[in-house]
Amino acid sequence: MFLSVFDLFKVGVGPSSSHTMGPMVAGARFLDELRQQPFRAHGLKASLHGSLAFTGKGHATDRATILGLAGFVPATLDADAAESALAANRATRILSPEGLGDLVFDPDRDLRFDFDHALPGHANGMTLSATDAQGDVIFHRIYYSIGGGFVLTDEELARKGDEKRSDDAPKVPYPFSSAAEMLEMAASSGKSIARMKHDNERVFRSDAQIRDGLMRIWQVMRDCMDRGLTTDGILPGGLSVRRRAKAIHEKLLAERGMNLTAPHVINDWMSTYAMAVNEENAAGGQVVTAPTNGAAGTVPAVIRYWLDHVPGASERDIPEFLLTAAAIGGLVKHNASISGAEAGCQAEVGSASAMAAAGLAAVLGGTPEQVENAAEIALEHHLGMTCDPVKGLVQVPCIERNGLGAIKAVSAASLSLRGDGSHFVPLDAAIETMRQTGRDMSDKYKETSLGGLAVNVPNC
């Protein structure tokens, strides 16, 4: 099994990797296929199903779908150009993607939120269609946004179950598909988890490309955090949630150096770093999936804590942190899920906390066994966590939850380093438990806003 660190950590836009980035990617993919057809389309239609329907408005899924069908993609999205395209569509009911001419698309008529018919492959399903001048469908695709900005067609999803048996999988030197295999390969090779992950990446990229790409990821993470730490105001969406990271950060800076500061205040630093990222995400800013947008603050918050508060930390070790974290995130995605719509928030913030814990344990000198232990501790203590965003917005409880995920990650790494790596519950068991728990969890608690806080807190 191989999942690139650059697939897991992707530059994109908020507020959601599965509900915003995914539909935009799907739209762009649909256009690519449409350009290859021998006929000329006259119009476009889109239908959103399952979680994409129930929380689509709050996650800007409608906007993302329109932008995708206009030819925009998350990694290169220009905010001003996107707003201009949306305004033009509102005025003309036309989209003009490159190479396809003018296509009729009236959001009031052609973009449907289907609350009654979930698609069978995944909770985040959508259909995209092209029509002729009479309005008849002449080309049709089903897409699933499976979390973290990953998108599969229904055919690709059906083939996904054959991945473990496929001879077409990329040939990498350390193709571990479980934590047990990862530890066995580390023991036999004498290499760290990050080194094995790096060697796998070298099949596709040079050393310089890997390092430059990883430092670019960290730069985008840090820039996002810095914007969040210096911006205040009210977040969009109608809940009137006030940004808090800037004010808290200013208080922490004012208290720095005071002899009477309580030791637990370090938790406030970690929470504030994470909240800054997730407030930016909630505002639709540029973020890095880590492994998703809803959980984008946990990993960078732990990196910032390590760099700014731990003696001896250095940015030269950022690649080791991110490669280790990606190895853990890849195992979770391969064997369970990183999608809140599929397995609740345990799959998002829980996965992010496990990734951050592993990365921190690695840069603090942990052995592969201690790194695996750190990830297990963090994931185990997120098991059962539901995804019940109020009004379908990635704000409450998501923003604070990333801060607590960062705190758990640091605690998990610290506990693991106090031991020798041996522990009772293997990481593989925690991942499988998360998968089973997600399967058994009521849909009310899987990013539909039909239960939990979403129905017990006023939405206005």
Which CATH number does the domain housing residue 140 bear? 3.30.1330.90
Low-confidence ranges of the chain (pLDDT < 70): 161-170, 460
At 57 the pLDDT is: 87
Q: CB under 8 Å to 14, separation ≥6 — which residues? A: 20, 280, 281, 282, 283, 284, 285, 286, 287, 293, 296, 394
> What's the one-letter identity of residue 439?
R
At 390 the pLDDT is: 96
> Are 210 and 67 in the same domain?
no
Total number of domains constituting the chain? 2
Distance CA 338, CA 16 (A): 12
Half-sphere CA count of 156, side-chain side, radius 13 A: 11
Identify whether the C-beta of residue 128 lies closer than 8 Å to the C-beta of residue 44. yes
Asked if residue 51 is part of any domain, the answer here is: yes
Asked if residue 12 is part of any domain, the answer here is: no
At 170 the pLDDT is: 65
At 164 the pLDDT is: 46
> Are 245 and 379 in the same domain?
yes
Half-sphere CA count of 365, side-chain side, radius 13 A: 7
Distance CA 257, CA 83 (A): 45
Distance CA 266, CA 175 (A): 38
Asked if residue 388 is part of any domain, the answer here is: yes
DSSP 97: -
> Which ranges of 161-297 would DSSP assign to H, the alpha helix?
179-189, 193-201, 207-229, 245-255, 266-282
Q: CB under 8 Å to 376, separation ≥6 — which residues? A: 179, 354, 423, 425, 426, 427, 430
> Are 225 and 309 in the same domain?
yes
The CATH number of the domain holding residue 268 is 1.10.4100
| Final residue of a structural domain among 140, 155, 170 | 155
At 447 the pLDDT is: 94
Identify whether the C-beta of residue 50 lies closer than 8 Å to the C-beta of residue 119. yes
> Are 405 and 451 in the same domain?
yes
Q: Which residues pair with 271 in a beta bridge?
A: none
pTM, whole model, 2 decimals?
Answer: 0.92
- Residue position matching structure tokens 């329907």: 53
Distance CA 445, CA 181 (A): 33
> Are 332 and 438 in the same domain?
yes
Asked if residue 1 is part of any domain, the answer here is: no
Asked if residue 173 is part of any domain, the answer here is: no
Asked if residue 164 is part of any domain, the answer here is: no
> Are 123 and 58 in the same domain?
yes
DSSP 288: E
At 460 the pLDDT is: 59
Distance CA 365, CA 111 (A): 52
> Are 267 and 207 in the same domain?
yes
Asked if residue 169 is part of any domain, the answer here is: no
**Cis upstream peptide for 291 (omega within 30°):** yes
Asked if residue 10 is part of any domain, the answer here is: no
> Are 120 and 261 in the same domain?
no
At 384 the pLDDT is: 98
> Are 148 and 189 in the same domain?
no
> Are 187 and 102 in the same domain?
no
At 169 the pLDDT is: 55
Distance CA 109, CA 330 (A): 39
> Are 406 and 273 in the same domain?
yes
Q: Give the residue numbers spanning the domain of 427.
A: 179-456
> Are 195 and 117 in the same domain?
no
At 418 the pLDDT is: 98
